[in-house]
């Protein structure tokens, strides 16, 4: 599974029906549908935690806590692009035109992970970093994969001086995902990739050679500590989201001052207010993850009421630092209005 630039979940190709049910039950989407629970055997604690590593798609609601931004680096020409690091793991090579678009602090089966998403053209690559299992072994990772995937889709290769588990999409002979354990204390790493079809064409596989190139280019360092800027940004972003997204009777330019490109969204907000008069909404920010000096991923809950109906829904988006302030990204603002519109159209 991948996340779009504003937290939208995308299911990779080759997933079985059971796997899609797992993806669709992820925490980021649970607020828009009934909660689904995956029924499995109880596993020993260490193996249960590692099972999270076997499911690169099971990325859920981000954990609260201080953020650690990725350090920016300089891009080179062609495929030798130097990408930002993800939780202390730097990427020495990416395909040409592919760059870091989002980093989220998330959970998989109760275990914290950091997921970096790299995109460009029709290509999506994800790097998942798991530091909460310091005693993890390759055998445990392989056993965790075996709990969820048939042996026909699994394989093992030698990678970076250790053994990596490979995962192939259903019906394919090529793998599009690698997971291995590195260092002591152990860091469990997963690299996955795919290519979107263009013009209605089906999604195609990401080349194995490129996946291996990315994996071998990684440099694993310690988890970074939050900077003073990140700590300050947490507070500023937590203030900007309610200011920009809470329903208010103030002139549109007041809340839109806290939204990226807000000056060109006035007519959009005016039309929304005219379509859904009296719709009340209040935003609570759950988690902020500042992953660069001017970008952060944000999860938040919207409590709403309209025409006698009320409820709440969780979603995710982005904050951007622009014009000297942290603001709700334009894409996030538009998606929230669209979501609110769907709620307003629900039958009484």
- pLDDT per residue, tens digit, the chain (348 aa), is 444 444 433 334 444 433 433 333 333 333 333 333 333 333 344 444 444 444 433 333 333 333 344 444 334 344 444 457 999 999 999 999 999 999 998 877 667 999 999 999 999 999 999 999 999 999 999 998 999 999 999 999 999 999 999 999 999 999 999 999 999 999 999 999 999 866 555 678 899 999 999 999 999 999 999 999 999 999 999 999 999 999 999 999 999 999 999 999 999 999 999 999 999 999 999 999 999 999 999 999 999 999 888 999 999 999 999 999 999 999 999 999 999 888 766 654
Q: Is there a contact between 106 and 113 (Cβ–Cβ < 8 Å)?
A: yes
3-state secondary structure of 94: strand
Domains of the chain, each with CATH number or no CATH = 2-220 (no CATH), 228-344 (3.10.450.230)
- Smallest CA-to-CA distance from 105 within 284, 296, 240 is with 296
Residue 310 to residue 79: CA distance in whole angstroms: 50
Kindly give, in sequence order, each residue whose CB lies less than 8 Å from that of residue 334, ignoring residues fewer than 6 positions away: 265, 268
Residue 236 corresponds to which tokens in the numbers above? Answer: 């500023």
- Residue by residue, DSSP assigns 279-316 as -EEEEEEEEEEEEETTEEEEEEEEEEEETTEEEEEEEE
DSSP letter at 93 equals -
3-state secondary structure of 143: helix
**Could you read off the pLDDT of 305-341 as tens digits, one per residue?**
998 889 999 999 999 999 999 999 999 999 999 998 8
- What is the average pLDDT value for the chain, to the nearest integer? 80
Q: Break the chain down into helix, strand, coil percent, rounded to 5.
A: 30, 35, 40
* Segment (H or E) for 145: helix 138-146
**Could you read off the pLDDT of 41-77 as tens digits, one per residue?**
333 444 444 444 444 333 333 333 333 444 443 343 4
């Amino acid at each position: 599974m991948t996340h779009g630039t504003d937290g939208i979940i995308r299911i990779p190709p080759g997933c079985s029906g059971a796997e899609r049910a797992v993806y669709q039950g992820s925490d980021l989407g649970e607020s828009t549908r009934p909660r689904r629970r995956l029924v499995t055997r109880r596993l020993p604690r260490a193996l249960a935690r590692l099972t999270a590593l076997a499911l690169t798609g099971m990325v859920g609601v981000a954990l609260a806590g201080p953020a650690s931004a990725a350090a920016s680096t300089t891009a080179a020409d062609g495929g030798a692009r130097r990408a930002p690091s993800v939780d202390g793991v730097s990427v020495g090579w990416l395909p040409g035109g592919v760059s870091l678009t989002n980093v989220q602090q998330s959970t998989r089966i109760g275990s914290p992970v950091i997921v970096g998403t790299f995109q460009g053209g029709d290509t999506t690559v994800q790097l998942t970093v798991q530091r909460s299992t310091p005693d993890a072994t390759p055998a445990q990772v392989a056993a965790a994969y075996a709990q969820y995937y048939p042996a026909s889709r699994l394989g093992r290769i030698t990678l970076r001086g250790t053994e990596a588990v490979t995962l192939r999409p259903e019906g394919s002979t090529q793998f599009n995902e690698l997971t291995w354990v590195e260092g002591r204390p152990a860091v469990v790493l997963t690299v996955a990739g795919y290519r979107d079809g263009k013009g209605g064409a089906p999604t195609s596989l990401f080349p194995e050679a490129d996946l291996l190139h990315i994996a071998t280019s990684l440099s694993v360092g310690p988890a970074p500590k939050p900077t003073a800027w990140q700590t300050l940004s947490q507070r500023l972003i937590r203030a900007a989201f309610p200011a920009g997204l809470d329903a208010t009777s103030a002139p549109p330019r007041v809340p839109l001052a806290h939204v990226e490109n807000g000056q060109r969204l006035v007519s959009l907000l005016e039309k929304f207010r005219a379509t859904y008069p009296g719709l009340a909404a209040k935003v609570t920010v759950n988690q902020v993850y500042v992953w660069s000096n001017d970008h952060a991923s944000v999860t938040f809950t919207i409590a709403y009421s309209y025409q006698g109906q009320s409820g709440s829904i969780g979603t995710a988006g982005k904050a951007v630092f622009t014009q000297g302030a942290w603001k709700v990204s334009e894409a996030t603002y538009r998606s929230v209005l669209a979501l609110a519109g769907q709620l307003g159209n629900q039958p009484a």
